[in-house]
Amino acid sequence: MDTFSELPLSPALQQGVHAAGYATPTEIQAQSLPAILAGRDVIAHAPTGSGKTAAFALGLLHRLDPSLLRAQALVLCPTRELADQVARQIRKLAVAIPNLKVSLFCGGTPLAPQLASLEAHDPQVVVGTPGRVQELLRKKVLHLGGVRVLVLDEADRMLDMGFEEAIDEIVKKTPQNRQSLLFSATYPDEIRAIAQTMLRDALEVGVAGAAHKPDIEQRFFEVEPARKQPALAALLGGFGDDSAVVFCNTRKDVDEVADSLRHYGFSALALHGEMEQRDRDEVLVRFANRSCNVLVASDVAARGLDIEDLGIVVNYELPSDADTFQHRVGRTARAGKSGIAISLASARELPRAQRIEELLGTPIQWLRAPAAAPKAGSAPPAPMATLRIDAGKTDKLRPGDVLGALTGDAGLNAKDIGKIAIFATRSYVAIERKQANNALKRLQEGKIKGRKFRVSKL
């Protein structure tokens, strides 16, 4: 299969493929889509960034009847960030399908709006995390008796996070004759076991081999623990204002490393699983809009991150297993781009390095870490800053309203304004750093869409 036009997709879905900018199917799409569209159960294991979301999204949309107001497809994801990413991609591919409702149900967000949405009418597509979907089922407000396609996305991570019982309860609420699609970056024994109970006569496909490896330059540095923070700052300082994600093994390290990088001048933010959802949202918005140039994260919190043009990934400490290493470095070099993976390891981490060597299939070349620590405050800050407006979709606020207020009364040049993100009750706009205080003052003194709102700088 060389083009999407060879697939038996409806004209509406072909239009969605074109609108999404897809031309040539990726390896995993070419292997899995014919079977998925034919209605077969499929097990697909492929690395992050290989195009698996589009594969199952097209498959489930192919089987929908938009005239039926009931849940016909269910996608379970390990984190809210990944679920949100999946829901957005499904909506993008379904742009030409009228009256299609795609609902996102995740923990860490208010329950009331989700209950109200279900009361209005059932969505045809449900995307969510296992805990929240399980909660809605127990409240008897979500009904899965009409599900035609069930997708487990990043199934390996959902099991790692302890969702096996929740998944089992949810699956039992779906019809036995459904189509089941299981997507996973790795394929451990636990996944094989769940596949045997959930899938029927499944086709197994996978992407592996050197020809499909992303273009990632691996750099390994042996650094003793006491030298890691200054060495990290020195290494990152060599990349200018390029965005980087630094992975840590513990929440304590996440907070300490973020504090250390801020000391050296970086616009660094921490992201870990114990943060409130609103705080996590703000961190991800600021990283995506280039108001933060280093994101320091734990593995669970960063699952599902899909940041465009992420050039650098750092292992502040080597993970205990090679699969986690693969997940981390897979954040860079996506969609055909190249990337750099930096790993800092002390002498006690060398057994972990041996397992990673086996994964890479080549001996690790150890490099010498910078000996001198950079001066405090010497690192380049992020190029943008973020303003928060305490108004959002519930106030009928749109990106154009914010842009109009900034380029109109506030007098800013459009080139100084970056990404604008609108949430239910708040909005965020990235401003060129040197213009941020001026923009803040103008918005605080002026109006947006004829109304005054509270505006603050993050």
Q: What is the pLDDT of residues 385-396, one digit of tens each?
A: 999 999 998 898
Mean pLDDT, range 115-142, rounded to an integer: 93
Taking only the tens place, the pLDDT of each residue in 42-100 is 998 876 667 889 999 999 999 999 999 999 999 999 888 889 889 999 999 999 999 89
CA angle (458, 433, 332) in 5-degree steps: 80
Q: Are 299 and 323 in contact (CB under 8 A)?
A: no
pLDDT score for 209: 42
Taking only the tens place, the pLDDT of each residue in 197-222 is 888 888 988 875 433 456 788 899 99
Share of the chain above pLDDT 70, in %: 93
**Distance separating alpha carbons of residues 138 and 135, to the nearest angstrom:** 5
Q: How many CB atoms lie within 10 A of CB 208?
A: 11
pLDDT band at 324 (very low <50, low <70, confident <90, very high): confident
Which is higher by pLDDT, 291 or 299?
A: 291
Taking only the tens place, the pLDDT of each residue in 273-288 is 788 878 888 998 999 8
Q: Which stretches of 245-292 are DSSP H helices?
A: 251-263, 277-288
Mean pLDDT, range 165-182, rounded to an integer: 94
Mean pLDDT, range 185-202, rounded to an integer: 79
pLDDT score for 252: 93
pLDDT score for 182: 93
Which is higher by pLDDT, 373 or 30?
A: 30
Share of the chain above pLDDT 90, in %: 48
State the chain's mean pLDDT as an integer: 87
Q: Please state, in angstroms and as integers, the Cα–Cα distance from residue 100 to each residue in 55, 71, 129, following that order.
A: 19, 11, 21
Name the CA dihedral angle for 100, 394, 429, 85, rounded to a multiple of 10 degrees: -30
pLDDT score for 306: 58
Q: Which of 124, 130, 36 has its CA nearest to residue 77? A: 130
Taking only the tens place, the pLDDT of each residue in 417-447 is 999 999 889 999 999 999 999 999 988 988 8
**Distance separating alpha carbons of residues 382 and 385, to the nearest angstrom:** 7
pLDDT band at 368 (very low <50, low <70, confident <90, very high): confident
Residue 411 has pLDDT above 90, yes or no: no
Contacts with 184 (C-beta within 8 Å, 6 or more apart), sequence order? 43, 44, 45, 152, 154, 155, 156, 191
HEC profile for 333-349?
Answer: CCCCCEEEEEEEECHHH
Token digits of residue 328: 């981390």
Taking only the tens place, the pLDDT of each residue in 332-366 is 766 556 789 999 999 899 889 988 888 888 888 88
pLDDT band at 162 (very low <50, low <70, confident <90, very high): confident
Taking only the tens place, the pLDDT of each residue in 258-272 is 999 999 999 999 998
Say what the pTM is: 0.62
pLDDT score for 4: 87
**Distance separating alpha carbons of residues 190 and 88, to the nearest angstrom:** 29
Residue 307 has pLDDT above 90, yes or no: no
Residue 415 identity (one-letter amino acid): K
Q: Please state, in angstroms and as integers, the Cα–Cα distance from residue 301 to each residue in 109, 232, 271, 297, 353, following that order.
A: 15, 21, 6, 6, 23
Q: Are 179 and 63 in contact (CB under 8 A)?
A: yes
pLDDT score for 184: 84
Sketch out the chain's domains with CATH numbers. 4-210 (3.40.50.300), 214-367 (3.40.50.300), 384-457 (3.30.70.330)
Q: What is the H or E stretch that residue 14 is in?
A: helix 11-19
pLDDT score for 212: 46
pLDDT score for 231: 94
Mean pLDDT, range 10-20, rounded to an integer: 89
Helix, strand, coil tally for the chain in percent (to 5): 40, 20, 40
